[in-house]
């Protein structure tokens, strides 16, 4: 017997329903606080004016609620894939709030709401929504993970198959932010029942899968071994169907763009393939490019005053060119010239062999170690961003001579060239830079490409300021 009478579908839907109710309450609170700031305290008001009664704004509140619901639905705010990721939820909430402000002002003009909608009221509401909605979502996560009914919504997950390469995946399941998960154990042939696979207990073999599902009240089965075979995988799916347990497959270690996989049309024939990547969408591409241009101009304006100081320090230690030019591979495999402050000795690659910098590398200048740690050597790349060779955020560009060796060794390496390379990236802020695992770096780059958003770019740029691991 399962210890929770709720069926799986309702267990997923119930928390999201409360999420929607909580969002509506917060939106109402934001509008009432905005009314108080605008009409009671008169904050930001140059001249006084008539104060419309609260009841006169009921139509405005109704229009605001309707618009919020419409935007939330259109932007998939309550889609399970979004709702179960705190990072995606927060970025989507900010986007909904900003769109709400613009569209609410336009809607009020079209409907000719009376009394007229105050722009300050809309601005205050939007600002409050940008702060209070994310705050409520974070508090909700803490409540779900805490004693307030947390155990009721813990999803019990059973892993089938236990290849060593999926250890990291199992760890991520157990640390899910929005929806707490408990990995109850693993089912696999060839393992002794009761033995440990990393931190998981082997609960049985494939022929005892049904009894394990019943005994441990499993909600989800995750097949972690992609080499199990089609027949065995189909049998597992049938067992899950009989027991109302959700069936899931883990993609191969380097299966790329799994979240972008969907139905699309080739001529009149529907096929399953990789749909348009998030940042290659016309609107997203234009927005990212505009932010890159603005960011590069601001970055140059702020950092140009320190260029003469860096120039003097480098020339004092090592006469020769201060700006280092190097050919790197950009979007679509197109080569471009990257600019950096020189941090290495002129003879660092006298043998003609390209290689990464390592810890305590004797080729570095004394000032070079400082420049690399604080990312100062990368500042001239604002010019690359302005030219369009690079973006502020993206996979770091590599040298063509290194890439030739990677193409045969690393599956899907070229996929990172589907977007502009960046001054910083998701791999770098996770400490994967310099002489670190190339496979891990590629995985992080592909994760970034697949899950790109403006919010993620902001997070990466902020983390770059405090990430010094392997910066040598």
Question: From first to last of its 472 residues, what are the pLDDT tens digits of the chain?
Answer: 344 444 444 344 446 777 888 898 999 999 989 988 888 887 866 565 567 776 777 777 888 888 888 888 878 888 766 776 777 788 889 989 998 998 888 877 777 777 777 888 889 999 999 999 999 988 887 776 664 444 555 678 888 887 666 566 666 665 554 455 678 888 888 777 877 776 778 898 888 898 998 888 888 888 877 677 778 888 888 888 778 788 887 766 555 566 666 655 544 555 555 666 777 777 788 889 999 999 999 999 999 999 999 999 999 988 888 998 999 999 888 899 999 998 887 766 655 565 666 666 667 788 888 888 788 989 999 999 999 999 999 999 988 887 877 776 776 777 788 889 999 999 988 888 766 777 788 888 988 988 888 888 988 998 888 776 655 5
**3-class SS of residue 319:** coil
Query: Is-contact 428 259, C-beta < 8 A?
Result: no
Q: Would you state the structure tokens that stand for residue 258, as one six-digit string?
A: 């799994």
- pLDDT at site 255: 56
Q: How far apart are CA 400 and CA 338, in angstroms?
A: 12
* Assessment of whether the complete model's pTM goes beyond 0.85: no
Label residues 351-376 b or e (16+ Cβ within 10 Å = b). eeeeeebeeebebbbebbbebbeebb
Nearest to 461 by CA among 298, 323, 351: 298
Helix ranges (H only) for 54-118 are: 58-74, 80-83, 86-111
> What pLDDT is stored for residue 5 in this prediction?
43
- CB count within 10 Å of CB 236 equals 21
Q: ∠ CA 282-134-131 to the nearest 5 degrees?
A: 95
Distance of alpha carbon 121 from alpha carbon 49, whole angstroms = 14
Residue owning tokens 């919020």: 68
**Are the beta carbons of 86 and 138 closer than 8 angstroms?**
yes
pLDDT at 452: 87
Strands 335-341 and 323-329 come out as antiparallel
3-state secondary structure of 350: coil
CA distance linking residue 293 with residue 297, whole number of Å: 6
| 3-class secondary structure, 50 | coil
* Cα distances (Å, whole numbers) of residue 54 to 145, 198, 340: 38, 60, 59
**DSSP classification of residue 221:** E
- 266 - beta bridge partners? 269
Both tokens assigned to 254: 């380097």
- pLDDT attached to residue 423: 94
Q: Tell me how far CA of residue 243 lies from CA of 7, 32, 142, 183, 240, in angstroms.
A: 10, 48, 31, 18, 5
The DSSP 8-state label assigned to residue 455 in this structure reads: H
- What's the residue count for the chain? 472
Per the CB < 8 A criterion, the answer to whether 213 and 1 are in contact is no
What element of type H or E holds 257? Answer: none
Distance CA(206)–CA(349), nearest Å, equals 55
Q: How many helices (H) and strands (E) does the chain have?
A: 16, 12
Give the integer Cα–Cα distance in Å for 91 and 89: 6
| Strand-pair category, 261-266 with 269-274 | antiparallel
- Measured from the Cβ of residue 248, the count of other Cβ atoms closer than 10 Å reads 15
* CA–CA distance, 80 with 16 (Å, rounded to integer): 8
Show the 3-state SS of 164-193: HHHHHHHHHHHCCCCCCEEEEEEECCCCCC
- Provide the phi-psi class of 147: left if phi over 0, else alpha when psi is between -120 and 50, else beta: alpha
> For position 352, what pLDDT does the model report?
57
SS3 call for 305: helix
Distance CA 464, CA 396 (A): 13
| Structure token digits, residue 260 | 């972008």
Alpha helices in 165-281 (DSSP H): 167-174, 209-215, 230-242
pLDDT of residue 1: 39
| pLDDT at residue number 73 | 82
For 367, residues 6+ apart whose C-beta sits below 8 A from its C-beta are: 313, 314, 317, 343
């Amino acid at each position: 017997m399962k210890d929770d009478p709720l069926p799986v579908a309702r267990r997923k839907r119930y928390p999201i329903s409360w999420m929607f109710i909580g969002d509506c309450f917060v939106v109402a609170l934001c509008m009432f606080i905005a009314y108080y700031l605008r009409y009671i305290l008169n904050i930001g008001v140059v001249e006084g004016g008539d104060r419309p009664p609260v009841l006169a704004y009921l139509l405005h509140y109704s229009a605001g609620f309707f618009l919020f619901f419409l935007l939330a639905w259109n932007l998939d705010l309550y889609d399970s894939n979004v709702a179960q990721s705190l990072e995606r939820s927060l970025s989507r909430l900010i986007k909904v709030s900003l769109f709400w402000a613009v569209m609410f002002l336009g809607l009020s003009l079209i409907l000719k709401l009376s009394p007229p909608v105050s722009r300050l009221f809309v601005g205050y509401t939007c600002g409050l929504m940008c702060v209070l909605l994310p705050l409520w979502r974070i508090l909700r996560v803490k409540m779900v993970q805490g004693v307030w009914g947390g155990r009721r919504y813990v999803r019990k997950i059973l892993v089938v198959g236990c290849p060593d390469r999926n250890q990291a995946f199992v760890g991520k399941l157990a640390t899910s932010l929005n929806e707490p998960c408990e990995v109850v154990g693993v089912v696999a042939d060839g393992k002794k029942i009761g033995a440990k696979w990393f931190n998981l207990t082997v609960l049985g073999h494939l022929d005892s899968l049904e009894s394990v599902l019943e005994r441990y009240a499993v909600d989800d089965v995750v097949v972690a071994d992609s080499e199990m075979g089609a027949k065995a995988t189909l049998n597992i799916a049938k067992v899950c169907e009989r027991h109302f347990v959700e069936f899931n497959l883990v993609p191969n270690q380097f299966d790329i763009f799994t979240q972008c996989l969907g139905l699309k049309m080739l001529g009149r024939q529907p096929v399953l393939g990789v749909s348009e990547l998030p940042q290659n969408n016309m609107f997203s591409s234009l927005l990212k490019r505009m932010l890159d241009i603005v960011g590069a101009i601001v970055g140059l304006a702020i950092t140009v005053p320190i260029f003469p100081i860096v120039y003097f320090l480098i020339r004092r230690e090592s006469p020769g060119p201060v700006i280092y030019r190097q050919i790197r591979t950009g979007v679509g495999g197109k080569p471009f010239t990257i600019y950096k402050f020189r941090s290495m000795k002129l003879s660092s690659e006298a043998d003609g062999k390209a290689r990464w910098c390592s810890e305590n590398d004797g080729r570095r200048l004394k000032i070079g170690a400082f420049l690399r740690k604080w990312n100062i050597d990368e500042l001239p790349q604002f010019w690359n961003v302005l030219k369009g060779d690079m973006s502020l955020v993206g996979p770091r560009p590599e040298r063509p001579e290194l890439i030739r060796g990677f193409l045969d060794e690393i599956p899907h390496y070229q996929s990172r060239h589907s977007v502009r390379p960046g001054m910083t990236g998701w791999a770098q802020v996770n400490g994967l830079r310099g002489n670190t695992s190339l496979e891990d770096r590629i995985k992080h780059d592909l994760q970034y490409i697949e899950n790109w958003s403006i919010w993620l770019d902001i997070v990466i740029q902020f983390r770059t300021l405090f990430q010094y691991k392997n910066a040598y």
